[in-house]
Structure 1
Amino acid sequence: MLHPEIETMSREGIRELQSKRLQETVRRVYENVPFYQKAFQEIGLEPGDIKSVDDLSKLPFTVKQDLRDNYPFDLFAVPKSELVRVHASSGTTGKPIVVGYTQNDINNWADLMARCFAMAGATKDDTVQIAYGYGLFTGGLGCHYGAERLGATVVPISGGNTKRQLMLMQDFGTTVLACTPSYALYLAEEAVHMGIDLPASQLRIGVFGAEPWSDNMRKELENKMGIDAYNIYGLSEVIGPGVSMECQCKNGMHINEDYFIAEVVDPETLEPLPYGQKGELVFTSLLKEAFPVIRYRTRDISVLIEEKCDCGRTFVRMERVAGRTDDMLIIRGVNVFPSQIESVLLAIGETEPHYQLVVDRKGAMDDLEIWVEVSDKMFSDEIRRLEELERKLRNEIQSVLGISAKIKLVEPRTIPRSEGKAKRIVDKREL
């Protein structure tokens, strides 16, 4: 445990620390960010009205559109001269989301990410290969600074160039791999084709995030790579990777509550929900100087767990993200998340864990077709077995989702691979 005095603090101690830092953050944004000053004034709120975390619900929400509307620097709480770095999301449409860091922010982020690597069992003796993208995306540099702060040897290879990744993994004796789970799976596949025995290598830990993935995907990665796979969560708007991280108990991700306050709210009513209920994650930053956020709606769906973990850490945990309210598909009135499909495919185990959801509208009716890759062995098998697998998948997915879907079994390596986030949904509807 890297910071035991913080990570095992009593719940009362955590609340006291959060309350103090929340008051400071609220005062800072009111004084330095016109957007927040206006938002507070519109609801008649003064910074002095916030005395503890119990007053959190009095504060207004921040949404992604607010960040776009204030592009590029109008939400920053410090002058540009105090910035040492900016990052930006790729953005699906229009302008990207821009976030900034002071030197203190960078130092805090490095400490935070070092703590996250330590939660997964990494130490200064490890060699960490970072295959997240570097550049404006926060993943690569966030992990890089954290691994260096831990004292580990860093291989800053970034994403792509898969054959080189595998060569260096062997030659450098990589012990920790950090990347998206879909790219890790691609690396595992390519290793087999190159005759590389990853389970026999020195690789022992995977730190995977930046996209939702299931426990069945974890088992798949652990079996194919011979590692312990851990889930890390973060988002650029809050800090980048490191908002929460699994420990070696693998029973939910510990939210770093000395840096962030987490809430779960009903996505429709925006009312806070109690521990144990599923809803939309909302985060308030507590130490960010350049780009503090107040009650930022992530659109990620999860559950908060209050019970103390067996590892001894007292931080509240979050379940793995079940999907996003804005990535969620509504098919014939039913909410569908790609992670639900993934769990079914991996539980059945006769397909490859590569799939796409193709949505179309035939007349007034939504039509869902799931493209699923089968293995080389299965594809070369008799038609009767393929038909039986298709029937099994169709029945199981209908049982899980509550709606019917067409299953299309496709040849191995048909579905495009990704060196970043996998593209799971092709939506052809004109909504």
Structure 2
Amino acid sequence: MDVSVRASLQLYRLKELVWYVYDHVPFYKKKFDEKGVHPRDIRSLEDIRLLPMTTKTDLRDNYPYGLFAVPMEKIVRIHASSGTTGKPTVVGYTASDIALWSEVMARSLVSAGATKHSIIQNAYGYGLFTGGLGVHYGAERIGATVIPISGGNTARQLLVLEDFGPDIITCTPSYSLYLAEEAHKKGLNLHKLNLKYGLFGAEPWSEAMRDEIERMLPIKAINIYGLSEIIGPGVACECLEQKGLHIYDDHFYPEILNPATGEPVAPGEQGELVITTLTKEGIPLIRYRTRDLTRFLVGECACGRTYPRIDRIMGRTDDMLIIRGVNVFPSQIEEVLVQVEEASPHYVLIVDRENNLDVLTVMVEVNDRVFSDEIKGLETIEQKIRHEIQNVLGISVMVKLVEPRTIERSEGKAKRIIDNRKL
């Protein structure tokens, strides 16, 4: 679509959206009124700057359904992702939203080399996590064959890769490398597989990691971006040129702003990605702060698509970690530790990448009385903390108990995270 034609479509959809949320979401009516803005004030795309921003805290404060714009009888699907308090961030989809999601995932898969003749091994997790079902519906939308194998069970993944002949695999980039290593151990010749493309996301990864994936599997590795609050995977995706992610701005209007001032950055300058969902019904979001840092790439893409392109995510403005596709906040860990009487509130999260998979170690101080106990007693405490954290996060972690007063103190903001991954 010509850029000017799409701009007219965006403005039409933006005007419709602001009236929609003003009439159907009390939270937004209150925010608009407090800011002194009314839907009729939106006359151009630039007027989007008049609108209030939305944050993850707003979703948390309105848990679970306070931001829904439709009654529950119109919601056909619920998904959720980790929140900062242990309670998930809840999103709801109408039938129209599912169709939208299928469409943008179909675009993403086609960008990554898929056709109706493709066989897609979908190794993203199915369930409350949006990854698996997002890919599934996109694959069906283009008429491809989808193998809904979900995550884990590496032995079965390798069997399917070898015997079922998929030409595309979808999973986290770290898991693709793990699969390659396990295949090598088993003597499986990956060069004889039918695989041609991989669609990887749900965690940060680098160009160096792309090079390693393409060397080991060997395939063309494509980067996909999304987040549950907006739709799930399919907000943006690379094409086969691998020179930035095309963001589908006819549905997800992007801004890149200075995170401190909220003002637009210069073209090509890094800032925080802020997205407005132009066409969602269930839980439309106005100027949602993703906390993800990126930049617009200037110039046209050789593939011919006219969507704007963003660079791969370069970092975040908050202290959230993404571990094996799961959002992890230090505050979630802290909430667990304060419930454990043997532990102190002093802790450090250490993230490493071992065998191409993320490993999270929680280093925790214990009190003087506990540390003088027998080793067996300390192991019991470690197991207890590990179990409680897994219940909250849904992923396994390592726990290491350390002596009192051995974790460095800070007069300012405590340094809670040591990320040793080379992303």
Which interval holds the TM-score relative to the shorter structure?
0.7 to 0.9
Aligned to 1:227: 219
How far apart are the structure 1 equivalents of 2:359 and 2:395? 13
Aligned to 1:94: 86
How far apart are the structure 2 equivalents of 1:24 and 1:429? 53
Q: What do you get for the CA RMSD once the two structures are aligned? A: 2.7
SS at match of 1:326: coil
Aligned to 1:294: 286
Deviations 1:347-377 (A, max 9, x none): xxxx97567798999xxxxxxxxxxxxxxxx
Deviations 1:190-238 (A, max 9, x none): 1111111122200111000011100110010011001000000000000
How far apart are the structure 1 equivalents of 2:63 and 2:361? 33
User: Does residue 249 of structure 2 align to residue 249 of structure 1?
Assistant: no
SS at match of 2:191: helix
User: Does residue 138 of structure 2 align to residue 146 of structure 1?
Assistant: yes
How far apart are the structure 2 equivalents of 1:328 and 1:85? 26
Q: 1:239 to 1:422 in 2, by over 3 A?
A: farther
Aligned partner letter, 1:73:
Y
Query: Larger deviation: 267-276 or 293-302?
Result: 267-276
How far apart are the structure 1 equivalents of 2:92 and 2:360? 35
> How far off its partner does 1:307 sit?
1.6
Aligned to 2:257: 265
> How far off its partner does 1:287 sit?
0.6
After superposition, residues 256-335 of structure 1 pair within 5 angstroms as 256-327=248-319
User: Does residue 38 of structure 2 align to residue 81 of structure 1?
Assistant: no
> How far off its partner does 1:306 sit?
3.7
SS at match of 2:216: helix
Q: 1:325 to 1:78 in 2, by over 3 A?
A: same
Contact 1:211/1:421 (8 A) holds in 2: no
Aligned partner letter, 2:126:
Y
SS at match of 2:199: strand
Q: 1:57 to 1:164 in 2, by over 3 A?
A: same
Aligned partner letter, 2:278:
L
Aligned to 1:381: none
Structure 1 unaligned regions, length at least 5: 1-8, 330-337, 343-350, 362-419
Q: 1:63 to 1:328 in 2, by over 3 A?
A: closer
After superposition, residues 5-404 of structure 1 pair within 5 angstroms as 9-327=1-319
Contact 1:22/1:52 (8 A) holds in 2: no
Contact 1:302/1:320 (8 A) holds in 2: yes
Identity over the aligned pairs, expressed in percent?
Answer: 55
- The number of residue pairs the alignment matches comes to 349
Q: 1:355 to 1:158 in 2, by over 3 A?
A: closer
Q: 1:422 to 1:265 in 2, by over 3 A?
A: farther
Q: Which runs of 4+ in 1 moved over 4 A?
A: 351-361, 420-424
Deviations 1:331-353 (A, max 9, x none): xxxxxxx99x99xxxxxxxx975
> How far off its partner does 1:270 sit?
1.5
Aligned partner letter, 2:217:
M
Aligned partner letter, 1:109:
W
How far apart are the structure 1 equivalents of 2:31 and 2:209? 42
Aligned partner letter, 1:145:
Y
Contact 2:124/2:151 (8 A) holds in 1: yes
Contact 2:60/2:83 (8 A) holds in 1: no
> How far off its partner does 1:94 sit?
2.6
How far apart are the structure 1 equivalents of 2:230 and 2:98? 13
Q: 1:144 to 1:54 in 2, by over 3 A?
A: same
How far apart are the structure 2 equivalents of 1:52 and 1:197? 56
SS at match of 2:221: strand
Aligned partner letter, 2:176:
A
SS at match of 1:244: strand
Deviations 1:356-400 (A, max 9, x none): 798999xxxxxxxxxxxxxxxxxxxxxxxxxxxxxxxxxxxxxxx
How far apart are the structure 2 equivalents of 1:311 and 1:231? 15
Q: 1:169 to 1:268 in 2, by over 3 A?
A: same
How far apart are the structure 1 equivalents of 2:136 and 2:208? 28
